[in-house]
Amino acid sequence: MADADRAGLREAGLSTPIRTCIGCRVTDSRSVLLRVVAGVAHEGVTPLVPDPRRHLPGRGCWLHPTRDCFDLALRRRAFVRALRIEGATEPSVVLAWVESHLAGVSCPTAVPNEILKAGFRNEPPMSTQQ
């Protein structure tokens, strides 16, 4: 989205969050980009987890859901820098999500089992009221 377009949206009172893709380094609307978070590291390998609903806890980075941006991000080690993690990453779940998104397969918005195994809990938020 060009700066002039963003300025026009702000003047019209229609602001949308803008994020930068870690692959191509182009800014775009948050609704266009895929949020990726780091899972719980196991044996020095940190799984990368797609977060299409943008609700998983932790530091996230943004990526266009295309194979080109994904490959650029891997080649530049952008996931490691953006998520501030050390060691190796396991991007297979993100790659599967991107490829299914490109193939037109409807991606579930619920957190899949392999993500739960990575250390995230699919539980309602804690509440002080009973």
Query: CATH number for the domain including 98?
Result: 3.30.1230.10
Structural domain includes residue 1? no
Residue written as tokens 């692959």?
A: 23
Contact between 127 and 51 (Cβ < 8 Å): no
pLDDT band at 55 (very low <50, low <70, confident <90, very high): very high
Q: Which domain holds residue 97?
A: 19-117
User: What is the chain's mean pLDDT, rounded?
Assistant: 80
pLDDT band at 107 (very low <50, low <70, confident <90, very high): very low
106 phi and psi, to 5 degrees?
-70, 125
Structural domain includes residue 5? no
Q: Which has more pLDDT, 9 or 81? A: 81
Provide the domain count of the chain. 1
Tell me whether strands 45-51 and 34-38 are parallel, antiparallel or unpaired. antiparallel
Structural domain includes residue 9? no
Q: What is the separation, in whole angstroms, between the first and last Cα of the chain?
A: 45
Structural domain includes residue 130? no
pLDDT at 100 over 60: yes
pLDDT at 115 over 90: no
